[in-house]
């Protein structure tokens, strides 16, 4: 069987993005979303270490780091999509 431990990384990113959208709907200021995503990613990274035997990290520090980076990637993906959408709207004018 292949090593599927890296599939958890995009999964953490998607889950953190969903968590950020939920928190955003609760009317929390947008400046807190990267922190929320980072913390959620850290928690999910440690959880993935226990749940998935082939996870990319084998110790707490690496699992937290992988989770935080994956969580912050959710914020980055959202910002890239937002910037591209804004540029497309400017080109239409």
The CA-based angle 59-70-12, given to 5 degrees, is: 85
Which tens digits make up the pLDDT trace of 46-64? 999 898 878 888 899 999 9
pLDDT at 43 over 90: yes
Judge whether 26 and 86 are in contact, CB under 8 Å: no
The helix (run of H) or strand (run of E) holding residue 78 is helix 60-92
Q: How much of the chain exceeds pLDDT 90, in percent?
A: 44
Q: How many other C-beta atoms can be found within 10 angstroms of the C-beta atom of residue 53?
A: 8
């Amino acid at each position: 069987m292949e090593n599927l431990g890296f599939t958890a990384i995009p999964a953490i990113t998607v889950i953190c993005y969903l968590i950020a959208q939920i928190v955003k709907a609760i009317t929390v200021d947008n400046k807190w979303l990267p922190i929320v995503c980072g913390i959620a990613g850290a928690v999910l990274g440690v959880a993935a270490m226990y749940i998935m035997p082939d996870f990319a990290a084998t110790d707490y520090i690496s699992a937290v780091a992988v989770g935080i980076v994956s969580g912050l990637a959710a914020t980055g993906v959202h910002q890239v999509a937002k910037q591209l959408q804004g540029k497309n709207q400017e080109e239409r004018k």
